[in-house]
Amino acid sequence: MSEEQTTHFGYEEVPVAEKQARVRQVFDSVASRYDLMNDLMSMGIHRLWKRRAIELAGVRRGQRVLDLAAGTGDLAQKFAGIVGPDGEVVMSDINEAMLVHGRRRLVDEGVIGNLDYALANAERLPFATNSFDCVTIGFGLRNVTHKQFALNEMFRVLRPAGRALVLEFSHPVVKPLAKAYDAYSFSMLPLMGRIVTGDADSYRYLAESIRMHPDQETLLSMMEQAGFERCQFYNLTGGIVAIHRGYKL
* Each residue's pLDDT expressed in tens, for the chain with a length of 249 residues: 334 588 988 888 889 878 888 887 877 777 777 777 778 888 889 999 999 999 999 999 999 999 999 988 999 999 999 999 999 999 999 999 899 999 999 999 888 789 999 999 999 999 999 999 999 999 999 999 999 999 999 999 999 999 999 999 999 998 888 889 898 888 888 888 888 888 888 888 888 999 999 999 999 999 999 999 999 999 999 999 999 999 999
At 115 the three-state DSSP class reads strand
CATH level 3 topology of 3-173+205-248:
Rossmann fold (3.40.50)
Q: Up-side HSE of residue 32: CA atoms within 13 Å toward CB?
A: 5
Distance of CA 170 to the CA centre of its chain: 12
d(CA 175, CA 181): 10
d(CA 81, CA 165): 18
Proportion of the chain in helix, strand, coil states, percent, rounded to 5: 50, 25, 25
CB neighbour burial string for 8-44, b if at least 16 within 10 angstroms, e if fewer: ebbeeebeeeebbeebbebbebbbebbbebbebbeee
d(CA 236, CA 46): 10
Given a contact cutoff of 8 angstroms between Cβ atoms, the answer to whether 136 and 75 are in contact is yes
Q: Supply the pTM of this predicted model.
A: 0.89
Given a contact cutoff of 8 angstroms between Cβ atoms, the answer to whether 186 and 164 are in contact is no
Residue ranges of domains in the chain: 3-173+205-248
At a CB cut-off of 8 Å and minimum separation 6, what does 80 contact? Answer: 87, 89, 111, 114, 115
Q: Give counts: helices (H), strands (E), the chain.
A: 9, 9
